[in-house]
Amino acid sequence: MIYITAQNKKVPALGYGTWKLKDKECSAGVEKAIEIGYRHIDTAQIYENEAEVGAGIAASGVKRSEIFLTTKIWITELADGKLQKSLDVSLKKLKTDHVDLLLIHWPITDVPFAEQMKALQSVQKDGKAILIGVSNYTVTQMKEVVEKIGAKAVCNQVEYHPYLSQKVLLDYMRPHGMFLTAYCPLARGNVANDAVLAKIAKKHNKTVGQVTLRWLVQQDGVAAIPKAGSEKHMRENFEIFNFTLDAAEMKEISNLARPDGRLVSPDFAPKWDKAA
């Protein structure tokens, strides 16, 4: 495993994503992922599976202290007072007294960022969130949170895969001690038929998916949270620590980025940073 150090906390660079996993598929998936070796589990209030994630962690038999657990506050729960109550509900579902990382899911401005961060910092002070951060924020929005408001945001979880450059974000985040968590790391399966990735995968006797995930976690301060419904894919995604991509291969994969590479952009999304 590769680890990212964030505010003296070790974060496994590869996590298990649970978006779209429901009911027993989710709880069994989390339990199996932990059995395979995953120690970073990602969920969110809007996924409506926090109870199943909590059940899977409990059933695994692995100590809660060994799991890095992330959840995200949904856009309707951002007001000071409301956020704290919604987290208490999430913690009850997750069967834990804290999460290791708590994120604001989207940068919604109906509630001022200062109020959102005040609420986020209050649950951190209470020990209910060890680390705090954001998701889907632009550089301008991160500057407001980190520099103007002074919140110790440690992470920005965003879409990141070979077809979408996040150089602009990373160039801002790294000097500020923040790490990036990549969702949709396999571009919703679009990497599967890529000739460049296939060539590199063949050289290493790996799959295209494994090469893609390795490209992500091999970057400084980047974590990835692929979702996998089957044990086969869970194991495949986890088997990326016994090979290394060279500088030329890393650059070749980075060069696959294109202007239309973004897959996730709901109508309430921010005005995204322009790719470098």
**Tokens at 25, concatenated:** 């598929």
Residue 32 has pLDDT above 70, yes or no: yes
**161 SS3 class:** strand
pLDDT in tens, 122-153: 999 999 999 999 999 999 999 999 999 999 99
Evaluate whether 243 touches 200 at the Cβ level (below 8 Å).
Answer: no
From CA 30, how far away is CA 59, in angstroms rounded? 9
From CA 247, how far away is CA 244, in angstroms rounded? 10
Give the pLDDT score at 229.
Answer: 83
Give the pLDDT score at 237.
Answer: 97
Burial of 257 (0-12, 13-18, 19+ CB in 10 A): middle
Residue 174 has pLDDT above 80, yes or no: yes
Alpha helices by DSSP H, 81-154: 82-94, 113-125, 139-143
From CA 159, how far away is CA 191, in angstroms rounded? 14
Give the pLDDT score at 130.
Answer: 97
pLDDT in tens, 46-87: 999 999 999 999 999 999 999 999 999 999 999 999 999 999
Residue type, 113: F
Residue 171 has pLDDT above 90, yes or no: yes
Give the pLDDT score at 275.
Answer: 72
Give the pLDDT score at 144.
Answer: 97
Give the pLDDT score at 276.
Answer: 57
pLDDT in tens, 192-244: 999 999 999 999 999 999 999 999 999 999 999 999 989 999 999 999 999 99
**125 SS3 class:** helix
Give the pLDDT score at 274.
Answer: 83
Indicate which residues carry an active-site annotation.
Answer: 47
* Domain architecture of the chain: domains with CATH: 10-186+221-227 (3.20.20.100)
CA separation, residue 271 to residues 164, 171, 260 (Å):
15, 18, 14
Give the pLDDT score at 127.
Answer: 97
From CA 182, how far away is CA 164, in angstroms rounded? 11
pLDDT averaged over every residue in the chain: 97
Strand partners, 41: 16, 69
Give the pLDDT score at 31.
Answer: 98
DSSP for 10-46 reads EEESB-EE-TT--HHHHHHHHHHHHHHT--EEE--GG
